[in-house]
């Protein structure tokens, strides 16, 4: 016998938790017509060409061929439904008011940041670069700083260089250039960097220092211009000396007990599969709800992974103004894709499809589960700081679905811990903030025991509930934010490069 999951009473498909050989009974009187891989959809009744396929209680699309009861439905058999009308979306749907459980932690040990509503979870020296041209020098300097300086300052967690692919060869005056410029400016201000400003520039790039820094920051105390330094050794020495001054200040910081309203986290999914939407993502959504009810802030992102179900996001917006801003951001992204000759069918990936996700509508419904159920309090444009909204709670952050661009933008918006769910597997990590990884399947946890932090596959197997895994995740978020726990990605420095979202032309 194998376990079969039906998500919603209206669904006309189920998915098997294990591979289902031909002849496996999946419902009374319904047996699989062929071998069907785990996580893939099985028809519960005879379906005709043009019929809707229902999962999560919504139509994923219309069949392009007849499917018998027990038949396999894959990505080649569905025609996408029309995306929702952005000008006719509801808003203000009431959410159930649930109290924060008294037996869960309501505080964490974080780093105060003067003038900020949010606190750091790590004490890191972040060195910003103004252009890719300086990356080679910075990598040499980083090796020296980590080897010689970091051991001298035990209260500094790490040093990271914010290398990126922007700064020159770009249309710096194009309207869309506001996104990468804002992203880089705000990355430097992530609470995990403790308010210390350090920038290494080349000197001739289009991204000038006045675009990155406030007037009072743009001075020799914070900036090194390599074209003004006499040779490579002198460059590395200058970087080393400035880094030590900054680290000396950071080393004086100490963790203090703070309410969870001072914590801002991000939630992402990558390498998703059919189980993501019923295990790891709903568990993340439950943990997200707990954090918001405790006063915290959660950013959930990825435009193309919510676009086809954006009406479900809009109805949770607390005001018409927010719903309209959400619609405006979706329209901008629709136009951006159209300019590039792409559409939403470019997502999912081949790995998503191999994991049982047939189209973007199915991926959307699973991705939205990360956002839990609480009302949406704000919409953040790409790279915009959550600090600027002067709100707390659940926010939608406008980002691409690309893991690396998304993670970079979340850091720029101010997240200091990130939760990353995966079904197919990805050793994703960030140097600027700890990343907690959840697997949607137990097989992945068994395969990557020292990469995956929490196995949510126990939900599919009936061993734990969504709430139980979500509560475990919530406790790990608080422990990680407090510095008591290091997720595997942080422990092993599994760090991906920053990727700056630049929709403007490259020159």
Terminal-residue alpha carbon distance, the chain: 60
Q: What is the pLDDT of residues 449-485, one digit of tens each?
A: 999 999 999 999 999 999 999 999 999 999 999 999 9
- Res 474: pLDDT: 98
Domain assignment present for residue 223? The answer is yes
**Domain boundary, last residue among 216, 250, 284:** 250
- Res 475: pLDDT: 98
Nearest to 25 by CA among 69, 60, 58: 69
Least confident span in 4-8, 296-300, 352-356, 429-433:
352-356
Instruction: Using alpha carbons, list the distances in angstroms from residue 94 to 290, 316, 324, 414.
Output: 17, 8, 18, 28
- Given pLDDT bands bounded at 50, 70 and 90, which one contains residue 290? very high
Q: What does the alpha-carbon distance between residue 215 and residue 204 come to, in Å, rounded to a whole number? A: 19
Mean pLDDT for all residues in the chain: 96
- Given pLDDT bands bounded at 50, 70 and 90, which one contains residue 1? confident
- Total domains in the chain come to 3
Q: What is the pLDDT of residues 199-214, one digit of tens each?
A: 999 999 999 999 999 9
Domain assignment present for residue 267? The answer is yes
Mean pLDDT of 312-332: 97
Check whether residue 333 and residue 434 sit in a common domain. yes
Domain assignment present for residue 86? The answer is no
Domain assignment present for residue 95? The answer is no
Q: Note the pTM of the prediction, 2 decimals.
A: 0.96
Q: What does the alpha-carbon distance between residue 298 and residue 410 come to, in Å, rounded to a whole number? A: 10
Strand blocks (E) in 347-397: 376-380, 394-397
Check whether residue 168 and residue 316 sit in a common domain. no
**Structural domain harbouring 268:** 262-491
Q: What is the pLDDT of residues 407-463, one digit of tens each?
A: 999 999 999 999 999 999 999 999 999 999 999 999 999 999 999 999 999 999 999
Would you say 379 and 98 are in contact if contact means Cβ atoms under 8 Å apart? no
Check whether residue 240 and residue 268 sit in a common domain. no
Check whether residue 278 and residue 330 sit in a common domain. yes
Q: What does the alpha-carbon distance between residue 285 and residue 307 come to, in Å, rounded to a whole number? A: 18
Mean pLDDT of 475-497: 97
Domain assignment present for residue 257? The answer is no
- Res 344: pLDDT: 67
Check whether residue 150 and residue 279 sit in a common domain. no
Check whether residue 138 and residue 282 sit in a common domain. no
Pairing of strands 158-162, 394-397: unpaired
Check whether residue 460 and residue 341 sit in a common domain. yes
Give the distance from CA 403 to its chain's centroid.
Answer: 7
Domain assignment present for residue 85? The answer is no
Mean pLDDT of 311-329: 97
- Given pLDDT bands bounded at 50, 70 and 90, which one contains residue 219? very high
Domain assignment present for residue 504? The answer is no
List helix spans (H) across 149-231.
178-187, 209-212
Check whether residue 305 and residue 417 sit in a common domain. yes
Q: What is the pLDDT of residues 156-191, one digit of tens each?
A: 999 999 999 999 999 999 999 999 999 999 999 999
161 backbone dihedrals φ, ψ, rounded to 5°: -100, 130
Check whether residue 223 and residue 302 sit in a common domain. no
Check whether residue 366 and residue 446 sit in a common domain. yes
Domain assignment present for residue 93? The answer is no
Query: HSE-up of 290 (CA within 13 Å, CB side)?
Result: 26
Nearest to 423 by CA among 405, 404, 403, 443: 443
Mean pLDDT of 121-144: 97
Would you say 414 and 385 are in contact if contact means Cβ atoms under 8 Å apart? yes
- Res 101: pLDDT: 94
Mean pLDDT of 357-365: 92
Q: Whose structure tokens read 């811990």?
A: 417
- Given pLDDT bands bounded at 50, 70 and 90, which one contains residue 83? confident
Mean pLDDT of 326-344: 91
Pairing of strands 435-439, 454-455: parallel
Query: HSE-up of 458 (CA within 13 Å, CB side)?
Result: 15
Per-position DSSP letters for 194-213, written without gaps between them: TT---EEE-SS-SS-HHHHS
Whichever domain contains 11, its CATH number is 2.30.130.110
- Res 247: pLDDT: 98
Check whether residue 290 and residue 424 sit in a common domain. yes
Check whether residue 269 and residue 400 sit in a common domain. yes
Nearest to 476 by CA among 417, 424, 401: 417
């Amino acid at each position: 016998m194998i376990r079969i999951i039906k998500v919603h009473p209206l669904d006309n498909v189920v998915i098997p938790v294990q591979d289902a050989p031909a002849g496996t009974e999946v419902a009374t009187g319904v047996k699989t017509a062929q071998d069907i891989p785990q996580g893939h959809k099985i028809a519960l009744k005879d379906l005709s060409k043009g019929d809707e396929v229902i999962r999560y209680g919504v139509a994923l699309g219309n069949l392009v061929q007849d499917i018998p009861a027990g038949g396999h439905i894959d990505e080649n058999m569905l025609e996408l439904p029309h995306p929702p009308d952005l000008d006719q979306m509801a808003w203000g749907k009431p959410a159930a008011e649930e109290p924060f459980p008294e037996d869960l932690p309501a505080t964490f040990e974080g780093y105060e940041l003067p003038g900020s509503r949010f606190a750091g979870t790590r004490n890191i020296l972040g060195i910003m670069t103004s252009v890719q041209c300086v990356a080679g020098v910075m990598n040499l300097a980083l090796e020296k700083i980590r080897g010689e300086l970091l051991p001298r300052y035990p209260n500094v967690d790490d040093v990271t260089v914010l290398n990126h692919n922007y700064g020159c060869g770009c249309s710096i005056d194009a309207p869309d250039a506001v996104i990468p410029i804002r992203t880089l400016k705000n990355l430097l201000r992530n609470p995990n960097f403790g308010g210390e400003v350090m920038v290494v520039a080349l000197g001739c790039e289009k991204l000038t220092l006045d675009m990155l820094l406030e007037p009072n920051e743009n001075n020799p105390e914070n900036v090194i211009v390599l074209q003004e330094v006499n040779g490579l050794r002198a460059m590395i020495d200058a970087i080393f000396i400035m880094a030590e001054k900054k680290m000396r200040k950071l080393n004086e910081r100490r963790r203090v007990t703070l309410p969870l309203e001072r914590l801002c986290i991000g939630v992402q999914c990558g390498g998703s599969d059919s189980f993501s939407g019923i295990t790891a993502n709903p568990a993340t959504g439950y943990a997200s709800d707990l954090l918001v009810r405790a006063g915290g802030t959660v950013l959930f992102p990825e435009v193309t992974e919510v676009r086809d179900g954006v009406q479900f996001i809009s109805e949770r917006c607390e005001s018409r103004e927010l719903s309209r801003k959400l619609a405006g951001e979706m329209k901008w992204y629709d136009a951006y894709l159209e300019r590039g000759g792409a559409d939403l069918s470019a997502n999912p990936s081949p790995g998503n499809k191999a994991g049982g996700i047939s189209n973007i509508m199915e991926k959307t419904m699973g991705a939205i589960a990360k956002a839990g159920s609480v009302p949406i309090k704000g919409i953040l444009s790409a790279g915009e700081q959550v600090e600027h909204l002067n709100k707390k709670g659940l926010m939608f952050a406008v980002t691409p679905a690309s893991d690396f661009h998304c993670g970079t933008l979340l850091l720029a918006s101010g997240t200091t811990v990130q939760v990353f769910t995966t079904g197919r597997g990805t050793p994703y990590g960030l140097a600027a903030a700890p990343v907690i990884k959840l697997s949607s399947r137990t097989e992945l946890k068994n395969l990557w025991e020292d990469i995956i932090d929490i196995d949510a596959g126990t939900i599919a197997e009936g061993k734990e509930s969504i709430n139980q895994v979500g509560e475990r995740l919530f406790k790990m978020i608080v422990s990680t934010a407090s510095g008591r726990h290091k997720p595997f990605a942080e422990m092993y420095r599994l760090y991906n490069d920053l990727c700056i979202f630049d929709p403007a032309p490259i020159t």
